[in-house]
Amino acid sequence: DALLSAPRAEVQDLSTSSQDPGIADTAEVVAPSETPTPAPPRIAEAVIKAEYLLPPPSTSAGSDAAPAPSAQTKGRNKKRPRDERPKPADQLCRAVASRGPTACPFGAEKCRFSHDLASFLATRPEDLGPECPVFKQFGRCNFGLLCRFGSCHIDPTTGANLPLLEEAGIREPGLGSERTALLPKNVQIQLRKNTFPFKCPRRTNTPADALAAAAAEAADRGEDDLTPLPPKPVKLVDFSNKVYIAPLTTVGNLPFRRVMKRFGADITCGEMAMAQNILSGQPSEWALLKRHPSEDIFGVQIASPHADQLTRCSELIEQFVKVDFVDVNMGCPIDLVCNVGAGAALMQRPNKVKQIVRGLTATLSCPITLKMRTGWNERHPMAHNLMRTAEELGQGRIAAFMLHGRSRLQRYSKLADWSYIGEVAKGFEGAPAPSIPIIGNGDIFSHTEWEEHKAMGGISTCCMLARGALIKPWLPTEIKERRAWDISASERLDILRDFVSFGLEHWGSDQQGVNTTRRFLLEWLSFLYRYIPVGVLEVTPQHLNDRPPPFCGRSDLETKMASKDCKDWIHLSEMLLGPVPPDFSFLPKHKANSYGSASSTTQAEG
Task: List the end-to-end C-alpha distance of the chain, in Å, as a whole number.
Answer: 30
Percent of the chain that is helix, strand, coil (3-state, to 5): 40, 10, 50
Q: Is 272 within 8 Å of 301 (Cβ atoms)?
A: yes
Going by the DSSP 8-state scheme, the letter that residue 298 receives in this structure is E
3-state helix/strand/coil string of 210-259: HHHHHHHHHHHCCHHHHCCCCCCCCCCCCCCCCEEECCCCCCCCHHHHHH
d(CA 28, CA 243): 37
Q: What's 105's DSSP letter?
A: T
Separation of alpha carbons 118 and 589, rounded Å? 41
Provide φ and ψ at 546, rounded to 5°.
-75, 130
Q: What is the rounded distance in angstroms from the CA atom of residue 192 to the CA atom of residue 268?
A: 30
Q: Are 128 and 105 in contact (CB under 8 A)?
A: no
Sheet holding 463-465, edge to edge: 438-441, 398-404, 368-373, 325-330, 297-303, 267-274, 243-245, 463-465
Helices and strands in the chain, H and E counts = 21, 10
Amino acid at 168: A
CA distances from 166 to 48, 180, 307, 485 (A): 54, 19, 48, 41
CA 231/CA 395 separation, integer angstroms: 8
CA–CA distance, 480 with 490 (Å, rounded to integer): 23
**Catalytic residue among 147, 269, 332, 462, which?**
332
332 a catalytic residue: yes
Q: Are 279 and 312 in contact (CB under 8 A)?
A: yes
Q: In angstroms, what CA-CA distances link 168 with 164, 293, 502? A: 9, 21, 20
The helix-helix angle for 254-262 and 489-507 (nearest 10°) equals 140
H or E segment to which residue 401 belongs? strand 398-404
Cis peptide before 541 (omega within 30 of 0): yes
Task: Give me the active site residues, please.
Answer: 332
